[in-house]
């Protein structure tokens, strides 16, 4: 699926200020017709400002040459024998959100370990550079040639069998190992402890002030940090002790579905709310590095209705829109 952008007056004011930074200054305008935009770019790959000015306001526009699976040959060249045991479509379609860097001149977003279950085994990280309207590989996915056959044939790529078996036998293990990571007991070479592909929902956020180049924080199942400067995942952390369970303080804060997350720059804390089990919505927060865990109480909407929410953080205010259903609808059906 090609990338689509919603061009609005607000978007244009962010991406095309009067003296724009990082726009191409070339003369190639590209083309626009029938809501398909082929950007004109300069020698560095940056979209020329004259091309951006072709894009109309207040409508969805498809951007030519932006299929994510166009990176398939790039990944296979770097990881011989690589294949997705699901599909590239699962990376974008399987309940996955993006972490965004919206700083002027640097606008970009990342899909991190998206897919999971039967949708995709692709645990790579992929970056969309909006000033270039191009996808790139931030972090290559795992080499699947060493994966056990039980994982390849499982039809569900979120849980890694060696790690699952280890956790089942040691569910309070000191290492904090869980089934959603690459871990093989007694095999350090294949124990990166990086996350398997999963439905990330809205759990990923980018924080530019962390590390030398910013970090992606993720609260899917547990707490994860990805450092852009080192291109490495930190060791994952369980929220409240080295064991997993859903939604309550006694169950240790494991997040399993429909996560929404944000970062409070003033407090310096990552917040994530999950709605697993459709009964309640519990929120916890943590300081970068995985310290100072804190329960934050319930989310304003719980139960099945929380599946139908849209959320945006503006400054320190969190805005949420909730679809409670139309006449005749039963959202719990």
Q: Is residue 316 part of a domain?
A: no
Q: Is residue 308 part of a domain?
A: no
Q: Is residue 253 part of a domain?
A: no
Three-state DSSP class for residue 211: coil
Greater model confidence, 328 or 287 = 287
Q: Is residue 21 part of a domain?
A: yes
Q: How confident is the model at residue 117 (pLDDT cuts 50, 70, 90)?
A: very high
| Nearest alpha carbon to residue 137 among 106, 110, 101 | 110
The whole-model pTM stands at 0.90
Between CA 257 and CA 266, with CA 262 as vertex, the angle to 5 degrees is 150
- In the chain, where does DSSP find H-type helix? 9-15, 49-52, 72-78, 88-93, 149-152, 161-169
- The phi, psi pair for 284, rounded to 5°, reads -130, 160
Q: What is the pLDDT of residues 64-91, one digit of tens each?
A: 999 999 999 999 999 999 999 999 999 9
* 38 alpha-carbon distance from chain centroid: 26
Mean pLDDT over the full length of the chain: 87
Residue 10 has pLDDT above 70, yes or no: no
Q: Is residue 227 part of a domain?
A: no
Q: How confident is the model at residue 332 (pLDDT cuts 50, 70, 90)?
A: very low
Number of domains in the chain: 1
Q: Is residue 72 part of a domain?
A: no
Average pLDDT over residues 24-36: 96
Greater model confidence, 107 or 296 = 107
Residue 91 is given by DSSP the state H
Average pLDDT over residues 13-41: 79
Q: What is the pLDDT of residues 166-209, one digit of tens each?
A: 999 998 899 999 999 999 999 999 999 999 999 999 999 999 99
Q: Is residue 42 part of a domain?
A: yes
CA distances from residue 41 to 36, 49, 52, 54, 112 in whole angstroms, order as listed: 16, 9, 10, 13, 27
Greater model confidence, 212 or 241 = 212
CA distances from residue 211 to 99, 105, 110, 124, 288 in whole angstroms, order as listed: 16, 20, 17, 21, 10
Q: Is residue 195 part of a domain?
A: no
12: domain range? 1-66
| Nearest alpha carbon to residue 198 among 126, 113, 139, 140 | 113
Contact indicator for 101, 209 with CB cutoff of 8 Å: no
């Amino acid at each position: 699926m090609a990338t689509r952008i919603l061009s609005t007056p607000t978007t244009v004011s962010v991406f095309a200020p009067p003296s724009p930074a990082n726009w191409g200054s070339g003369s190639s305008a590209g083309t626009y017709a029938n809501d398909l935009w082929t950007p004109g770019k300069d020698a560095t790959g940056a979209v020329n400002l004259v091309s951006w000015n072709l894009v109309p306001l207040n409508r969805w526009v498809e951007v030519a040459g932006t299929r994510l699976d166009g990176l398939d040959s790039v990944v296979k060249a770097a990881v011989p024998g690589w294949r997705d045991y699901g599909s590239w479509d699962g990376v974008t379609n399987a309940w996955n959100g993006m972490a965004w860097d919206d700083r002027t001149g640097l606008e970009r977003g990342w899909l991190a370990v998206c897919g999971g279950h039967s949708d995709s085994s692709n645990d790579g990280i992929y970056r969309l550079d909006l000033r270039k309207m191009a996808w790139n590989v931030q972090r290559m996915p795992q080499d699947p040639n060493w994966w056990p056959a039980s994982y390849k044939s499982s039809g569900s790529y979120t849980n890694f069998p060696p790690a699952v078996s280890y956790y089942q036998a040691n569910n309070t293990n000191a290492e904090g190992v869980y089934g959603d990571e690459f871990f093989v007991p007694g095999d350090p070479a294949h124990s990166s402890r990086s996350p398997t592909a999963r439905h990330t929902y809205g759990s990923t956020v980018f924080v530019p002030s962390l590390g030398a180049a910013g970090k992606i924080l993720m609260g899917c199942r547990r707490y994860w940090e990805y450092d852009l400067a080192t291109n490495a995942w930190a060791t994952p952390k369980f929220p409240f002790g080295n064991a997993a369970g859903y939604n309550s303080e006694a169950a240790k804060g494991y997040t399993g579905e429909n996560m929404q997350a944000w970062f409070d720059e003033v407090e310096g804390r990552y917040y994530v709310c999950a709605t697993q089990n459709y009964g309640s919505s519990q929120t916890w927060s943590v300081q970068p590095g995985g310290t100072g865990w804190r329960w934050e109480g319930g989310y304003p909407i719980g139960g099945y209705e929380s599946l139908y929410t849209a959320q945006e953080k503006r400054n320190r205010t969190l805005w949420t829109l909730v679809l409670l259903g139309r006449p005749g609808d039963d959202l719990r059906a």
